[in-house]
Structure 1
Amino acid sequence: MSDKNIVSIEDRIPKLKQARKKKANRRLIFYLSIFFLLIAIIVYLQSPWSEIRSIEVSGNVFLTDEYIIDASGLKEGSNIWSMNKSSVVEQIEKDSVIEKASISRDFPRTVHIDVEEKSVLGYVKEGKDNYPVLSDGQIIQKNAKDFTSNAPLMIGFNEEQLTELTAEMMDIRPSIFNMISEIEWNDSDQEEMHITLYMSDGFLVKGKAEQIFDKLDYYPSIVSQLDAEDSGIIHIGVGVYFESFQNNEKEEVEMKDDETENE
């Protein structure tokens, strides 16, 4: 072996020392960076920059922003990172009007609350005031914003009957739901709920609530078989028949699937 290829220990030691020094420096820089980062985080968490500056609410129709914020328990000035999201959501969802809620932190100091309220299936009139009826039958009278809706007026129902009625109405197609202007309770000694629907096209629909809402998808096809200039009552039960106001005649009507309406 040639002497030129032999590296002496004396030549290697400075290089080894230099490599170790660089490695130690890199390690020191790494630990110092972690240390200062932790210091910065602690300072940030103790500073006003980590406090909630504003709380925004969206999705609410009936409940006011102030009411929802109060229900959440959040306060401006509290630490934005100490907020327990699941606990806040649970507090908000305790209100019977709220279907579900979610919460997020919007950088740098804003908390956003998004809520989904129960849907409106009608309204009741008390004096000059209109109060919405939600999908579980409850009437909203407090903490509500100004109410406007195309939902039908519900006449003559007590609270228990409203709960039963709205349960039957849950699956109505929007296109047909929007045609119902009023729903009236029919006085009856029978156990079943008998109602009358006042439709926007001028027809009335009568029968048991359960049977009406079970077959109401067929309404467009039923009306298409009637004289457009006639008016009267569509009786829905086991079958369907039409009672004309003009001549007091009754005629059976078929229930046909309307593919266009069901798309």
Structure 2
Amino acid sequence: MSDKNIVSIEDRIPKLKQARKKKANRRLIFYLSIFFFLIAIIVYLQSPWSEIRTIEVNGNVFLTDEYIIDESGVTEGTNIWSMNGSSVAAGMEENPVIEHASINRSFPSTVVIEVEEQPVLGYVQDEREFYPVLADGQVIQQNAQNSISNAPLITGFNEAQLTELATAMDNVRPSIFNMISEIERKDSDEEEDTLQVRLYMSDGFLVEGIADQMLDRLDYYPSIVSQLDEEDSGIIHIGVGIYFESFQKDEMEEVDIEDEIEELNEEINEENEETGNE
């Protein structure tokens, strides 16, 4: 026993005290850090730094930034953390013009509103101003003079007819739709509830027919044109049958597209598959 090292309690007490003091200091620093962090959060939330200073709007084409901000109800000076972004976006999407909306905070004091508007069917003209017609036939009463896209000019339609036209146009492929430069309502001796339309195509041909019948078969337009003389021009009548009325000849010529239907259907299916993969 006498050969073993014996440490007296008096020698151990200073070391124990020092260890306890270090441990207590670490705890104090930890609690003080949490305390000051909470104080900093409270000060930030109560200070102007937590207020909305900037509101950005992205994705809009026809609706103005001011209109979208007013529609959202978000205002500068409001506490940025009191805003419920999902509720604001849901309220904005009740507007028929706004197809999708999202609200995001950008630290420290910016709110970003992202919107996606409905696709554009075309434009109507009132004197020198152009107003967009949405894909559901609704006319937006905001001048789109500075944002006119390749969508066609639409003339001669009332509100109900625009809705009917929009429904019929839903079946037209984008590649064909982009070839239409103007859509005109055509006066007809047919029944009053029949909507007759005339399309002005970018390659110089005109297409006429009852809206739902003609637009349902408009995907065959390239096949129809391929059977006509390049130097020829005239009106392509699309309905139960397909006829070409030449401006150079005083006769109607029937156009047969039966051989192209199967090929076109395969092309449409391929486009749909590519869109689905994307």
Q: TM-score interval w.r.t. the shorter chain?
A: 0.7 to 0.9
Q: Does 1:251 align with 2:265?
A: no
Structure 1 residue 36 displacement after superposition: 0.4
The residue aligned with 1:173 is: 173
Stretches of structure 1 that go unaligned for 5 or more consecutive residues are none
The SS at the match of 2:57 is strand
- Indicate the residue corresponding to 1:72 in structure 2: 72
Name the counterpart of 2:22: 22
Between Structure 1 and Structure 2, how many residues are aligned? 263
3-state SS in 2 of match to 1:136: coil
Q: Is the 8 A contact 1:131 1:147 kept in 2?
A: no
Q: Equivalents in 2 of 1:239, 1:24: separation in Å?
A: 94
Question: Whole-Å Cα distance in 2 between the matches of residues 3 and 9 of structure 1?
Answer: 18
Helix, strand or coil: the match of 1:161? Answer: helix
Give the match for residue 62 of structure 1. Answer: 62
Distance 1:175 1:60 in 2: 24
In 2, are the aligned partners of 1:123 and 1:154 still within 8 Å (CA)? yes
With CA pairs under 8 Å and 6+ residues apart, which has the higher RCO, 1 or 2? Answer: 1
Task: Give how far 1:2 is off.
Answer: 8.1
Shift of 1:38: 0.3
Deviations 1:58-116 (A, max 9, x none): 22222211121122212222211211112222333333221111121222222111211
Query: 1:196-238, CA deviations, whole angstroms, 9 ceiling, x for partnerless residues?
Result: 2121212122223223232222211221111111122222234
Letter in 1 for 2:77: G
Q: Which residue of 1 aligns with 2:154?
A: 154
State the TM-score, normalizing by the size of structure 1. 0.87
**Percent identical:** 70
Distance in structure 2 (CA, Å) of the matches to 1:102 and 1:111:
10
User: Are 2:195 and 2:211, in contact at CA under 8 Å, matched by a contact in 1?
Assistant: yes
Preserved CA contact (<8 Å) 1:52 1:76: yes
Query: One-letter code of the match for 1:197?
Result: L
Select the residue among 216, 219, 223 that pairs with 1:217. Answer: 219
Task: Give the TM-score taking structure 2 as reference length.
Answer: 0.83
DSSP 3-state at the match of 2:217: helix
The secondary structure found in structure 2 opposite 1:4 is: coil
Counterpart CA distance in 2 for 1:3 and 1:70 is 89
Alignment partner of 1:197 is 2:199: yes
Letter matched to residue 106 of structure 1: S
Q: Which runs of 5+ in 2 are unaligned?
A: 272-278
Distance 2:128 2:22 in 1: 84
Rounded Cα–Cα distance in structure 1 between residues aligned with 2:228 and 2:182: 21
- Contact preservation (8 Å) 1:184, 1:195: yes
Query: Does residue 126 of structure 1 match 2:126?
Result: yes
- 3-state SS, counterpart of residue 182 of structure 1: strand
The 5-angstrom pairing of residues 106-117 of structure 1 reads: 106-117=106-117
- Tell me the secondary structure at the aligned position of residue 131 of structure 1: strand
Counterpart residue type for residue 210 of structure 1: D
